[in-house]
Structure 1
Amino acid sequence: MPIDLIRRPLDLDRALRSVRDWSPDRPGAVILGASPNGLSFVRSIGRRGIPVVVLEGPKPLPALHSRWACGLHHPDPVDDEARWMEVLLAIGGSAPTPPVLIPTGDAHVLLVSRRRGELGKSFRFVLPDAEVLEKLPNKSEQYRLAAESGVPIPKTLYPSSEREVEEAGREVGYPCIVKPHYAHLWKRRKEGKLVEAGDAAELLRAYRGAAEIGQAVMVQELIPGGDDALYGLLAYYDRESRPLCLFTKRKLRQYPIGYGDGSLQVTLRVPEVKELGDRFFRSMRYRGLGSVEFKKDERTGEFKLIEVNPRSVSGQGMTTAAGMDIPYLAYLDIGQVERVEPTDRFREGVYFVNERWDVQSFLQYRKAGRLTFRRWLGGFFGKKIAFAFFSWRDPGPAAALWGRVLLNRLRRK
C-alpha cells in the first residue's frame, strides 16, 4: 500500500469495493472508533497485511488517517444507530468471509451487544453476555459487582435527592467526588470524568448540574494519592472465559491531572492488581477485551477499584510495545485464525506517551508548580518510549493531529 502522509476517509461505496477484494483465506477487521485506542488495533492488525476498515463519528480522529485503514465518517452511534447498522451490515455482507469486529468505545460496545443477533450473521466478535454489558457501563453496578466478588471499593453512596446528597457529603467527608453512573453519556454534555467537591455547597451544585442533564450520580470518598497511584489491568478473555492476556501497568501522569486519561504510563508487573482484576472478571464469566483501574490508598496500601471498562482503552498500544500484542492476539482468537495460548509475559519499563495529552498535562503540572520543562523533557531520555500517535511507518495520524492543532492556533490569532 503506498504511504499517504495524511490518508483521507473514504465514502462508503469505495470502502465496499475494497472490502469485496479482501482475501477469503483470512478475515479482515472492522474497528469501531478511531481514537488512540482504535489506532492501536489498526496498526497492530494492518501492518501485518490484514485489511482494516475503521468507523468513526463526526470527529476527525487519528485512526482515520492511518495508512493501514480505510476510514469512514458517520454520525455519532448514539444519535444514529440505524445508520451505523446499515453501514456495518453492508460491510459484513460484502466481505468474502465474516470480518472480525472490534468495538473500542462504550457506545460501540453497547451497539454491537444490543444488535448482536443481526451482526453475528455477518461478523465474528467476542463480547460478555448482554446482561453483563448492560450493567458494566453503569459505574454503580461496577461497584456492586466488585463488592460481591470481594474486590475493595472506595466508600460510595448513591443519593437520589438533595437531602440525601447532603447526608452523603457528611458521611463520606470532604473533599469528595461526584461521579456519573454513565460516563459516556456524561461526556456528551460535560467536560471531564467527574467533579470534585470541597464542601457541601460545591457538592449540591454538582448534583444539581447532573440533574439538569438527566444524569444520576454517586458521591464517593477521595482516595489520597497522585496520578502515579493509579494502576491497571488490561485483559482479553476468550469465548470460554479463559484469560488469554493479563497485562498490568501504572499511570504516571494524566490529563486533566487528577481525574483524566493516562498521558504517561509505564508497564509494570503488579501481582495484586492482576489478581484483583482477574477475580472481578472471572466472577461474571467475562469474555472479550476489558480493563480495570485501581488506586493504591496511601493510608493502607490497599488497591481500591476506580473503574471498569468492558472494552479496550486509550493505552492499549503499550501492550504491543511491551511484547504482549493484545490487539493482534485478540484478532487471532476472535477470527479463529489460530489458537492463542494464555500469556502474562511482557517487558517491564516501557513508557507509553500520549503526545497531545502529555503536553497538556505538563502545562497543568507546571502551572501548579509541580513540574519544570527541564524535568518533563529530561524524563524521556534513556527510556524505552512508545507513542500513541507518532510512528515512522505510519505518519498520518500524528501529522493530522498536529496539523489540526496548528490550524486551530492560527484561526484563533
Structure 2
Amino acid sequence: MSDVRPGARSGPLQPVILGADIGVYALARSFHEAYGVTSVVVAGAALGPVAHSRIVRHEIVADGHDPRQLVDRLVSVARSMPDRRLLLMANSDWLVRVVVQHRAVLEQHYVVPFLSEQLLDRISDKATFAEICTDLGISVPRTLVQEFGSAEPWEAVAVDLEYPLIAKAASSADYQDVEFEGKKKVFEIATPEELDWLWGALRDAGFRGRFVVQELVPGDDTQMRSVTAYVDTHGEITLLCAAHVLLEEHTPSGLGNPAAMITYRDDPMLEQARTFLASTGYRGFANFDVKVDPRTGKFRFFEVNPRIGRNNYYVTAAGANPMRFVVEDAVEGRSIPPVVVDKEILYSVVPHRLLLRYVRDRGLAARVRRLIRAKAVARPLAYPGDLSPRRRLYVAMALVNQVRKFRRYYPEVTSTGF
C-alpha cells in the first residue's frame, strides 16, 4: 500500500468515495464529524442515502457499473483539485476490486488504503477464505465448492451435508452482474431438488464463477457478530470493534446485512480476527461476519469483507471514528495507538418498536431498552449536522420503508413488549 501521493501532505484533506449507499453516507458523515470536510461521492446516481445531503458533493457518471468511467472520473476529480490531500475510499466488494486493479493509475493522485490485489483475490473467495481459516485453526462452517467454468460436460459436486444448507457465490464480484429470477445474496436450500434448480438457474444465466455450499449453522439473527478492523501501513492492527447483531435484513438483495447491533468487546473473537489479519499480511479496513454456534458456543467465521463494511457507523458511534485511523496513518504518515472498542451503543436502521418485536431473548431485549432509555442509540442517516427538510423527510421515510420490508419478507413476530 502506498504511503502518500507526491505532495499529499500539504493542503486540506479531501475524501473521495465510490458508491452511493448507506455505507457511503456513513463514511461521509464520519469524515465530516472528524474533520468538518465535504466528501466527493462518485457514482452512477445520487441515491437516497446520499441525496440532498450537505456533506457530500456528487460526481455522477453515465454508467456507474463501468470501471473505466469510474476511473476516468476519479482522475478528472483529482486533476480538478491539485492542492488537496486526496484519500480514496470504496465500500462494496466490486468497487474495491476496481480500485485495487487500477491502483497504478489511481495512486498517482490518491492515497489508496487497500490490500494488495493478490491478497484480495485470496480472501474475497469464500472457498479460499475457509481454507485459510482452517489452516490457522479458526473455525468455519464445513464448505464444498461448485465450479461453473466453461468446461463440458458440467458436473455437480457431490453434497454430503445435512439439509437445509447454505449456498452463496464464492466471490460476490463474480456474482454482481448475474441476473436470474429468484436471485438472492444467500440461498437457504431445503432439499436436493432446490439445489438442482439453483445450479440450473446459475448455468442458464451464464454464471462462470464458483459457488460454495456450506453447513447451516443454526440460530437466529442474534447469533451473528460483526468485527471491524483497521491494519495500518506497517501491519499494525490499530482498530478492533465488535458488535452483537440483533436483527438482519431479510430482503433477497440485502439478506444478512445487519439492521441493528449492540457494540461490545469480546476478546476471544477479536483474537481470532487478529490472527487472520496478521497471518495474511492484511492492510486497510476489514469486516468479518461471525456466528456463534449455539450447539458448541464456538465462533464460526463466515467471511471477511475487504472494506470497512456497510454498517461502519457503529464504530464511530462507539467512540472510535475509523476515519481518523486511516487519515493519520495513510495520509499523514503518523502512528496511532491501537484501540479496542469497549463502549456499548445501540446501532439501528429500524424503528425501536419493530426491533423489539423480533428480539426474542429477554436479556437482549432488556439491553436494547436500557440503551434506548439512555439515548445511547446511533442511526447512521440521522446526522444532526445534515438535516435539511428534504433530508429529514428521507430519513423518516427510510424507517417507514423498513417496516414495509420486514412485513413483506420477514413477517414472523414474537413480541417481547416495549
* TM class by smaller structure: 0.7 to 0.9
* Equivalent in 268, 279, 282 of residue 275 of structure 2: 279
- Kindly provide the CA deviation profile for residues 175-214 of structure 1, in whole angstroms up to 9, marking residues without a partner as x: 1011111224435436432111111111211222222231
Q: Does 1:101 align with 2:92?
A: no
How far, CA to CA, are the matches of 1:207 and 1:391 in structure 2?
44
How far, CA to CA, are the matches of 2:367 and 2:281 in structure 1?
42
Partner of 1:344: 340
How far, CA to CA, are the matches of 1:74 and 1:404 in structure 2?
25
Partner of 2:245: 251
Q: Does 1:37 align with 2:23?
A: yes
- Kindly provide the CA deviation profile for residues 234-276 of structure 1, in whole angstroms up to 9, marking residues without a partner as x: 0011111110101111101001189421011010111121011
Q: Does 1:178 align with 2:184?
A: no
Alignment of 1:376-391 (within 5 A): 381-383=372-374, 384-391=376-383
Structure 2 vs 1, CA of residues 310 and 76 (structure 1 numbering), >3 Å: closer, same or farther?
Answer: farther
**3-state DSSP of counterpart to 2:108:** coil
Q: Does 1:158 align with 2:145?
A: yes
TM-score (norm 1): 0.82
Alignment of 1:267-346 (within 5 A): 267-336=263-332, 338-346=334-342
**3-state DSSP of counterpart to 1:193:** coil
Partner of 2:408: none
- In the TM superposition, what is the alpha-carbon distance from 1:330 to its structure 2 partner? 1.7
**3-state DSSP of counterpart to 2:124:** coil
Partner of 1:410: none
Structure 2 vs 1, CA of residues 45 and 178 (structure 1 numbering), >3 Å: closer, same or farther?
Answer: same
Percent pairwise identity: 22
Structure 2 vs 1, CA of residues 75 and 328 (structure 1 numbering), >3 Å: closer, same or farther?
Answer: farther
- Kindly provide the CA deviation profile for residues 81-137 of structure 1, in whole angstroms up to 9, marking residues without a partner as x: 111111100111222134011111112211111110111110012211210112332
Partner of 1:6: none
Structure 2 vs 1, CA of residues 350 and 23 (structure 1 numbering), >3 Å: closer, same or farther?
Answer: same
Given residue 300 of structure 2, which amino acid in structure 1 is its aligned partner? K
Q: Does 1:211 align with 2:200?
A: no
* Equivalent in 107, 119, 126 of residue 106 of structure 2: 119
Judge conservation of contact 2:371–2:377 (CA < 8 Å) in 1. Answer: yes
How far, CA to CA, are the matches of 1:130 and 1:395 in structure 2?
39
**189-198 or 98-107: which moved more?**
189-198
Partner of 1:202: 194
**104-113 or 183-192: which moved more?**
183-192
**200-209 or 226-235: which moved more?**
200-209
Structure 2 vs 1, CA of residues 147 and 398 (structure 1 numbering), >3 Å: closer, same or farther?
Answer: farther
Judge conservation of contact 1:29–1:100 (CA < 8 Å) in 2. Answer: yes
**3-state DSSP of counterpart to 1:381:** helix
Q: Does 1:90 align with 2:76?
A: yes
TM-score (norm 2): 0.81
Partner of 1:5: none
